[in-house]
Structures are given as structure tokens and as C-alpha cells.
Amino acid sequence: MQKRKLGNGGLEVSALGLGCMGLSFGYGPATDKEEAIKLIRTAYEQGITFFDTAEAYGADNEKLLGEALAPFRKEVIIATKFGFKEGDSSKGPDSRPQRIRAVAEKSLQYLKTDVIDLFYQHRVDTNVPIEEVAGTIQDLIKEGKVKHFGLSEAGVETIRRAHAVQPVTALQSEYSLWWREPELEIIPTLEELGIGFVPFSPLGKGFLTGKIDENTTFDSTDFRNIVPRFSPDARKANQIMVDLLNLIATQKNATPAQIALAWLLAQKPWIAPIPGTTKLHRLTENTGAANVILTSSDLQQIEHAAAQIQIEGARYPEHLQKRVGN
């Protein structure tokens, strides 16, 4: 798989990464440990060298990654995140310097590594100046415990202020054909400052695969149950976006998911999406997107059709929406 550079600090990653949250958090019951390890190692065999986890996904998530990647640790980039009280996203943000340090030590232990390649602030903590956060990461970089600094779901002003203290290597935020708000301010700012972009939920939390419709039911612990965009009515209304992807996929001998990922890769050379999956066949399908080339006329066709589509439903319930874009 082709590599891409994020930021100006020489961080090179596979064009597509693997988001590991869903292996044990957020989307129903955890995947069997042996199956999860097999999936992560298969991703590496298929050319993925960029793996994403977080303290907030539970210690088991980082431990899983640490064990799965141990045989080829030096060949891969591991990204993890700090920023919630006691590592629990439901308890709100906590990016105090002592907390960042405590998370770093735990992550190093769980990931079985001596350095965190990319350490993101998971959500902006409005109680702690971002300059203080950036300074703490800068110290951890000087101490050799962290290589690169990242932000997640941060607003433009926060990005600029953080970058002025410690260069930001990457921003991780949601971006896909059905969530394009980053194009307004975020992407131009990242381009100006030389910061890479790591889109999470590049397949719209599964919707853009074409395998979810208004009749789909989710496990009771699945996060999508509380997402307005996943209400049955919204799913029915948003099917038109999947229809568009299906149309292009047929023309390109690909799948809707592959078109959605190829579209993201075509937007900027410094974008590296991190689709997640628990299934080996989906992993293979996703990695295949790196070989799908969309021509300028393909992209124009998608752009023209997408401009006619009004996506229904908010991407977060109100209480979670308050945590993004700060």
C-alpha cells in the first residue's frame, strides 16, 4: 500500500489506517481476542502500518494492540489518545498535565512499547489552556516518550494556538461523503499549517457500506442507537447517498465502501482515513480501496450528485456535540 506523510515532522503512514475502537468499544460486544489479534495482524500483512486506539476505549483495546503488533512493532505507527477523566468519555474532559503524563505511562505499558508514535488530545478540555497541553506533549517528546502531537475534533483557533507551541502532526476528526463540514474551515487551516488529516468514521459509521438500511437493528450497547443520523427515518432519507455510491461502484467494478474511501484519498495527499472493522472480509474490502483510482470526471460526477443530496439527522446527540469543534 502507498504511504502518505502527515505533518511536517516526517511521520509516514499507510494511506489507509485501521481504527481499532470497534474491536472492544462502542459498537456492541467486544470481538473475541484471538480473532481481533488475527484481524490486526492481517491488516499489517495487507499493507496497513497505521493503527489507532485510545485510553477511552478501555485498557483492553490498547493491550490488544500491544500484543498483536509486538512482532513488528518497529514497522508500524501506533496512535493513542488522552483527555478524559479516568479514561471515561462519559465523565468529561481532563487534560491536566499530570493526567496527560499518567495516561502516557499507562499507554506505554499497555502497548508494550517505549514510545508513542502519535499522541492525540481526544477532545479539547476548555478548562486547561491548549498551550499547557501542547507544552506537556513537547516535554514528553523531549523525554523520548512521544514522537508526534495530535488533536481530535478541535476547532481552528485551538489548532492554531496548539501549533504555535508544539507543531501538530495530525488532526483526527470525522470526515466522509456524508459529513463534509471540515471542508469549510478545518481543511484549509490544516493545509496552511502543514498538518495531516486523519478522518475517522470515513464510512459514516458503517452507513456508506450499503449494508445498513431503515430496518437494520443494532445491539443494545451500540453507540449508533443514540445518533440522530441513525434514526430509521434518517436512514431511509439518507439512502440516496448510498445509491450514488452504488452507481459509481458499478462503473468502477468496486464496492460502495471502496468508493467512499477512494473519494477521501483523492481529496488531499495528506489525508489518511482510519476505517474500523471487526470482519476480515471487510478489512480486505477496505484495503482494496487504496487501489481504486477515481478520475477527475468520476470526482466531478460524485460532486455534482452529492450537491443535490441533503443529509438528514445530526451526527451526534446534543450532549456529545458540545464536545467537538472547541
Active site residues: 57
- Residue whose C-alpha is closest to residue 53's, from 41, 43, 66, 37: 66
Q: What are phi and psi of 22, to 5 degrees?
A: -65, -10
Greatest alpha-carbon pair distance for the chain in Å reads 54
- Residue whose C-alpha is closest to residue 177's, from 204, 200, 198: 204
Strands 3-6 and 11-14, by their bridges, are: antiparallel
Contact, 115 vs 109, CB < 8 A?
Answer: no
Distance CA 181, CA 183 (A): 5
* First-residue to last-residue Cα distance in the chain: 34
Place of cell 486523519: 198
Helix then strand then coil, in percent of the chain rounded to 5, is 50, 15, 35
